[in-house]
Amino acid sequence: MESTQLTIQLAYVAAAALFIYGLKLLGSADSARKGNLLSSVGMLLAIVAALLDQGIVEYQWILLGFVVGGAIGAAAARLVQMTAMPEMVALFNGFGGMASLLVGAAALSGSSNTFTLVTIVLSILIGGLTFTGSLVAWGKLSETLGSGAVMFRGQQIVNSLIVLAILFSAVMFCLQPENSIWLYAVIALSLLFGVMAVIPIGGADMPVVISLLNSYSGLAACAAGFAVNNNILIVAGSLVGASGIILTQIMCKAMNRSLSNVLFSGFGSVSSEETVIEGEIKPISVEDAYYILEAATNVAIIPGYGMAVAQAQHVVKELTQLLEKKGAEVNFGIHPVAGRMPGHMNVLLAEADVPYDQLLEMDDINPRMETVDVAIVIGANDVVNPAAREVESSPIYGMPVINVDQARTVFVLKRSMASGFAGIENPLFYKENTRMLFGDAKESISGLIRELSN
């Protein structure tokens, strides 16, 4: 018996070490796959150890769960498009929250001391709001619910009343755990609060919301770990919670906004005042763009969500190789909130085997921008909008952006003149050094490749 317990505890330690080392490897695109694999092995080890620790003997149900879950995971990995990756991450966060809610509720069958009851309430509360909040985030990202912020009069009062009701129900549950009405009240109110907390946040802020909800799912798992007295669940939840909070802070800093401003400002609930933009749109053909690009010795590519929609990352890599063969230096400028989830552009370019040392962060590429001959903006809008520097009335004024307008020539690849996800006009399109290459980004880049190959 003692040897079994020692083996279980050693397995927990090994799993925790794999989690930490795997998380470290996820910090680099070159080692991310290995880090993901090691973390997965750690989770498998943790689950097996937990089952042995709990003395569960009905393994047929556990094996069935492995098979069903593995099949769903394999199908998602193969079938979900890269453009839908943000939505899938949002759903994963929500499922993690629901799992913590169910674990917390199941823990009621065990000890009912005050500490355990408090951790049960926390796992249910955080798990519930994470679940419904993530579903709303999924709806906004997929534009099933509309990406705009939803605001109404008295909204803050309603939310405050919900919070007070949650606190009252939670206290009553801890005092009267035998009365299930208070448990159901906490569950229902937490699910409602998740919806109310996310609907006033606009789609442009969803990258921050995703990372925050990821942190919430970790905190819910940590609370569930305390509820069932499982150390590895506490460790894993703490790692996810801490990393999510750190990423959230990085995202907020990248937008020059506080977390409270993201959560409560209602950004995107109303359209910004119309700004008179001087200048005219100057379209360019693929053939004319080729002549300018052929003479360039320094090229910067700025990817955005439009590149993901067009699935153009592979042709972008091919274009990069052709330009380099002609002696041009090519780099990619990656804004922290480009795309619709943290690291979205890095994942897409890594899939196309773009060398990681060519991916430059915003602070690294901006000082070089004045020496860039051609900056190619592929489907990005808000992260290259000079209004963030020039227009004080703009909702994004003060937000750090990639200064592509300082390049000698700018090619903007867009399907149309529609504004970006934030719904803000972009003066970049009217600059003297900007040329608009309209059409599908993949087709436009393929056309440039054909011209450069001749």
Please identify every residue annotated as catalytic. Answer: 382
Q: What gap in Å lies between CA 151 and CA 217, rounded to an integer?
A: 25
Q: What gap in Å lies between CA 175 and CA 182, rounded to an integer?
A: 10
Strand partners, 438: 414
- Residue 50 CA from chain centroid, whole number: 30
Count Cβ neighbours within 10 Å for each residue of 154-191 and write b for 16 or more, e otherwise. eeeeebeebeebbeebbebbbeebeeeebbebbbebbb
Work out the widest C-alpha separation in the chain, in whole angstroms: 80
Structure tokens at 236: 């894993």
* Cβ–Cβ under 8 Å, residues 208 and 248: yes
Helix ranges, 26-113 (H): 32-54, 59-79, 85-106
Q: What gap in Å lies between CA 249 and CA 307, rounded to an integer?
A: 26
Helices 344-351, 85-106: inter-axial angle, 10-degree rounding: 120
* Cβ–Cβ under 8 Å, residues 125 and 224: no
Structure tokens at 281: 């749109």
Q: What gap in Å lies between CA 196 and CA 169, rounded to an integer?
A: 18
Structure tokens at 45: 């080890």
Q: What gap in Å lies between CA 451 and CA 294, rounded to an integer?
A: 9
**Element spanning 311, H or E:** none
Structure tokens at 23: 């998380």
Q: Which among 170, 155, 75, 435 is positioned nearest to 291, based on CA atoms?
A: 435
Helix ranges, 258-394 (H): 259-264, 286-294, 305-310, 313-325, 344-351, 362-365, 387-390
